[in-house]
């Protein structure tokens, strides 16, 4: 007598020898390792018995999942709020006046902060550059048009630097 079953991967019908039940073998069709069920039609497997669901345990798991979800939402909210506070705080602060002879250095520092991801600091510096008026825009344009970037910006790829300059230009209009 043989054991007939379907492959759990490719669903092809497989006929295995009677003595192979309970062992692993290779599907002749898809070559995946499969388990050959131990079926003996002569033996009555009997009725399956199930354990009842513990309602208290199920409720406890549900409560833990809900609590975990709420905590993760609070953490996400806390992460978002400091950024809002920084941006609101930074826009309300008046821009510091820049010494006209240091505008180029200030622009380079601002671009460096932007490249390093210190955006709140770069926004503050950008406002002070904007307070310099046309002189700040002219210096930024000169930096943008130069073939060789300043030594402090040399490690920034040219395409990235050009994008940072465009972003800064938009902030100091």
Residue of 110, 120, 119 lying closest to 150 (CA atoms)? 110
| Two structure tokens written together for 1 | 């007598």
CA torsion sign for 54, 60, 64, 69 is positive
Q: What is the C-alpha separation between 151 and 104, in angstroms, rounded?
A: 13
Place of tokens 């759990």: 8
Domain boundaries, the chain: 2-35, 100-171
pLDDT, one tens digit for every residue, the chain (173 residues): 688 888 888 889 988 888 888 888 889 989 999 888 886 555 545 555 666 778 888 899 999 999 888 888 888 887 777 545 444 444 445 556 677 778 889 999 999 999 999 988 889 899 888 888 888 888 888 888 888 888 888 888 888 888 999 999 888 87
d(CA 73, CA 82) in angstroms, rounded, equals 15
């Amino acid at each position: 007598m043989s054991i007939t079953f379907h492959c759990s991967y490719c669903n092809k019908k497989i006929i295995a020898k009677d003595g192979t039940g309970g062992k692993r073998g290779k599907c002749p069709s898809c070559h995946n390792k499969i388990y050959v069920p131990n079926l003996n039609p002569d033996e009555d497997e009997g009725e399956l018995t199930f354990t009842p669901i513990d309602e208290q345990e199920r409720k406890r798991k549900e409560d833990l999942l809900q609590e975990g979800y709420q905590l993760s939402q609070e953490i996400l909210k806390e992460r978002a709020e400091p950024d809002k506070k920084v941006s609101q705080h930074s826009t309300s602060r008046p821009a510091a006046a820049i010494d006209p002879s240091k505008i180029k250095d200030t622009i380079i520092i601002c671009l460096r902060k932007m490249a390093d991801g210190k955006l709140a600091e770069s926004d503050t510096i950008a406002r002070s550059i904007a307070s310099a008026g046309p002189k700040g825009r002219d210096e930024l344009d000169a930096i943008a048009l130069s073939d060789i970037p300043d030594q402090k910006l040399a490690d920034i790829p040219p395409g990235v630097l050009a994008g940072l300059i465009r972003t800064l230009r938009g902030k100091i209009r």
